[in-house]
Structure 1
Amino acid sequence: MVSLDEAVIVRLKSHGETFEIYVDPDLALSYKGGEPVPLGDVLAVQTIFKDAGEGDKASAEAMTAVFGSTDFQTVVSGILKKGELHLTTEQKKKMSADRWKQVVDIIARNAINPQNGKPHPPARIDSAMAEARVEVTINKSAKEQVEDVLHKLKPLLPIRFEKINAAVKASAQNAPRIYQILREFGDVRKEEWVGSECITLLEIPAGVQDEFSLKLNNATHGDIQIKFLRDKDVPR
């Protein structure tokens, strides 16, 4: 839960009534964008105010008149979806920079250069976005903006989203150590034991090949075999 010092106010004015709640600005924007964020995580204070500055609570009559209910979750959800998020200039600047970085990270993890099959470094994507004069808004999630950004990058960069297959062979000793790592990076398609070794076939975003290999090698001190496969080479 965000502290009150870092929280901002969402204000809704409707039917002559005013409702205010203290929220985590990042989570509030995510919730407004349709992401499944628990309301308890969004709120800094579990209270619905008429005037947050004065500490005046909203009345049950006002809630019923506007929302048709006094249910806390229903009212808070309505305020978040329809209300206005009040941010300072510094908060807007920080959130804008964070959202930009989130877009860069998503593209870097999922995209490759189709000319050589290799990922684009985040710095190259960042530079191309600036050159293309991409505008990233804090009012939408990073995921919602990626497709439009990718479209603007294509005249400047050979780029496309792609997934690749990875075959990983680990010893009985190392298999438990990499179990969670494999599932964090992709979708496991097949897993089988051959003697004392576990062979896992999974699909991962093309842009994370280096990070994937590094984490597995670190977890096993290099005692692992990793092979990236094209679709035609994947065992059926």
Structure 2
Amino acid sequence: MPKIFTPTNQIRLTNVAVVRLKKTGKRFEIACYRNKVVSWRNNVETDIDEVLQTHTIFNNVSKGQAAKKEDIIKAFGDKEDTEICREILSKGELQVSDKERQSQIDSQFKEVATEVSNRCVNPELNRPYPIAVIEKAMKNAHYSVKPHQSIKQQAMTVIKLLKESIPIERAQMKMKISFLNKNIDKFKKELKKVSSVKIETETVDEESVTLIFLIDPGHYKEVEEMAKKQSKGSSILEVISYKEVAVGNEYL
């Protein structure tokens, strides 16, 4: 990134990230510190002085050209410069080079693949896929990352997409429920309606009936509500493990 100078007082601006907003047919830009814009938008950074290199409003930061006062008033009214900077930070587009953009895309692509690998297994082996295998499957499926979507949202989309080409399922969650009044039959009937549920054990003692079962994590809330309804508050629901996978000859 070349060094940038303002035309009046020659303030040197380095490590610049530019945020641009078009309004009333004019372009307005502010010079920010790199890596601070995202922190500001995520409410991690709250001090605007830590974000802005200068409160000057430009029409071209790289050339050091400040916006004309009449253009600023027409677009933003009589707001103070700091308030205008806040609006540009909130609504403007962060400018990045082609190289930076590609680097961000590549990084997000790998993050999505990692999230999918962490959440899923090959159901034929009950083992997680290596990240490299997921990445290759994503490329074969022509998946393009969505920069404004969360990694979790994209991972859920990718899982559905990859089911068309490879055997892949969410790793199951192991749960335990104990019914203190032993009236568990209705719950078992409803539980069996839940997709991919598998009851592993049923234990009866003097005070309760206990089930250990596997479910898709996406059904957790459904099962929780079901337990409350069927037991009328007399059940204890626990998560034994969030992901059951086979490693070697054992399960983790």
For this structure pair, what is the TM-score category when the shorter chain's length is used for normalisation?
0.5 to 0.7
Counterpart Cα distance in 1 of 2:23 and 2:44: 24
Query: Which has the larger displacement, 201-210 or 38-47?
Result: 201-210
Q: Give the counterpart of 2:58 among 26, 35, 50.
A: 50
Q: Which amino acid aligns with 2:131?
A: P
RMSD after superposition: 4.2
SS across alignment from 1:20: strand
Residue 206 of structure 1 corresponds to 243
Counterpart Cα distance in 1 of 2:85 and 2:244: 39
Residue 215 of structure 1 corresponds to none
Shift of 1:24: 6.1
Residue 136 of structure 2 corresponds to 127
Residue 99 of structure 2 corresponds to 90
Q: Which structure is richer in relative contact order (CA contacts within 8 A, separation 6 or more)?
A: 1
Q: Specify whether residues 104 and 36 from structure 1 end up closer, same or farther in structure 2 by C-alpha distance, changes over 3 A only.
A: farther
Instruction: Name the one with the larger helix percent.
Output: 1
State whether structure 2 residue 116 is matched by structure 1 residue 100: no
**Structure whose CA Rg is larger:** 2
Counterpart Cα distance in 2 of 1:68 and 1:204: 58
Q: Specify whether residues 61 and 130 from structure 1 end up closer, same or farther in structure 2 by C-alpha distance, changes over 3 A only.
A: closer
Q: Give the counterpart of 1:66 among 41, 57, 76.
A: 76
Where structure 1 has 5 or more consecutive residues not aligned to the other structure, the ranges are 167-200, 211-226, 229-236
Answer yes or no: is the 8 Å Cα contact 1:31–1:37 preserved in 2.
Answer: yes
CA displacement, residues 42-69 of structure 1 (integer Å, 9 cap, x when unaligned): 8362535224231637869937952774
Answer yes or no: is the 8 Å Cα contact 1:110–1:207 preserved in 2.
Answer: no
Counterpart Cα distance in 1 of 2:245 and 2:34: 30
Answer yes or no: is the 8 Å Cα contact 1:29–1:138 preserved in 2.
Answer: no
Matched pairs, number: 173
Mapping for residues 1-236 of structure 1, pairs under 5 Å: 5-23=14-32, 28=37, 35-38=42-45, 40=47, 43=51, 45=53, 47-51=55-59, 52=61, 53-54=63-64, 56=66, 62=72, 65-66=75-76, 69-70=79-80, 72=82, 75-162=84-171, 164=173, 206=243, 228=252
Q: Which amino acid aligns with 2:45?
A: P
Q: Which amino acid aligns with 1:107?
A: V
Q: Specify whether residues 131 and 18 from structure 1 end up closer, same or farther in structure 2 by C-alpha distance, changes over 3 A only.
A: closer
SS across alignment from 2:94: strand
Counterpart Cα distance in 1 of 2:33 and 2:160: 32
CA displacement, residues 71-91 of structure 1 (integer Å, 9 cap, x when unaligned): 84x544532343233222211
Q: Specify whether residues 85 and 209 from structure 1 end up closer, same or farther in structure 2 by C-alpha distance, changes over 3 A only.
A: farther
Answer yes or no: is the 8 Å Cα contact 1:100–1:136 preserved in 2.
Answer: yes
CA displacement, residues 193-225 of structure 1 (integer Å, 9 cap, x when unaligned): xxxxxxxx8666538998xxxxxxxxxxxxxxx
> Which TM-score applies when normalising by structure 1?
0.54
Residue 175 of structure 1 corresponds to none
Answer yes or no: is the 8 Å Cα contact 1:109–1:205 preserved in 2.
Answer: no
